[in-house]
Amino acid sequence: MDDRLYSITEVAQAFGVRVSALRYYEERGLLTPTRRRARVRYYDRAALRSLALLRLWHHDGAMSLDDTATLMAGPDPADWRDTLLRRTDDLDQQITRLQKAKDALDHFLDCTSDNPAECPVIDDILNRRIDQALRDSSPPG
């Protein structure tokens, strides 16, 4: 078993984060140093595992720190499942918006017009959006 302790500076360098981020995680209750000597925080392998888990959810899972805190807080399956379901729904919506954006940009690249603002397909879309905006903003009556 690895009993070595790693200073906050070593941990920050190893994980590619700032020391201030590690301190912030501690303030939020997401990371606890194993020991302090003078003003220096030290972390053991278990603390590094917590940090790796935090980074997995926060960075790789693109989750907020609040949602990450919910997942790290404990074993209540309802809370963490609801949190994950809500986040996956959010990601699905983002993916849909991003796919629409990519499709629009791909169309601009493939359009026969030399000026994307004058593309006949885009012109039709813009006219429909203008008409819809005017309908939505017109006073009833």
DSSP string over 49-88: HHHHHHHIIIIIT---HHHHHHHHH---HHHHHHHHHHHH
* Same domain, residue pair 87 and 116: yes
Q: Does pLDDT of 96 surpass 80?
A: yes
Longest CA–CA separation in the chain, Å: 77
Collapse the DSSP code of 117 into the 3-class scheme (helix H, G, I; strand E, B; otherwise coil) and give the result.
helix
How many CA atoms, within 13 angstroms, populate the side-chain half-sphere of residue 21? 14
- Range(s) of the domain holding residue 19: 6-73
Collapse the DSSP code of 110 into the 3-class scheme (helix H, G, I; strand E, B; otherwise coil) and give the result.
helix
Q: Does pLDDT of 71 surpass 90?
A: no
In sequence order, the β-bridge partners of residue 6 are 43
* Same domain, residue pair 68 and 82: no
CATH of the domain at 18: 1.10.1660.10
pLDDT score recorded for residue 98: 95
- Does 95 map to a domain? yes
pLDDT score recorded for residue 140: 66
* Same domain, residue pair 85 and 104: yes
Collapse the DSSP code of 96 into the 3-class scheme (helix H, G, I; strand E, B; otherwise coil) and give the result.
helix
* Same domain, residue pair 56 and 10: yes
Instruction: For residue 114, name the pLDDT band (cuts at 50, 70, 90).
Output: confident
* Same domain, residue pair 13 and 69: yes
* Same domain, residue pair 38 and 86: no
- Does 1 map to a domain? no
Give the tens place of pLDDT for each residue, 78-93. Answer: 778 888 899 999 999 9
* Same domain, residue pair 17 and 36: yes
**What percent of the chain has pLDDT above 70?**
96
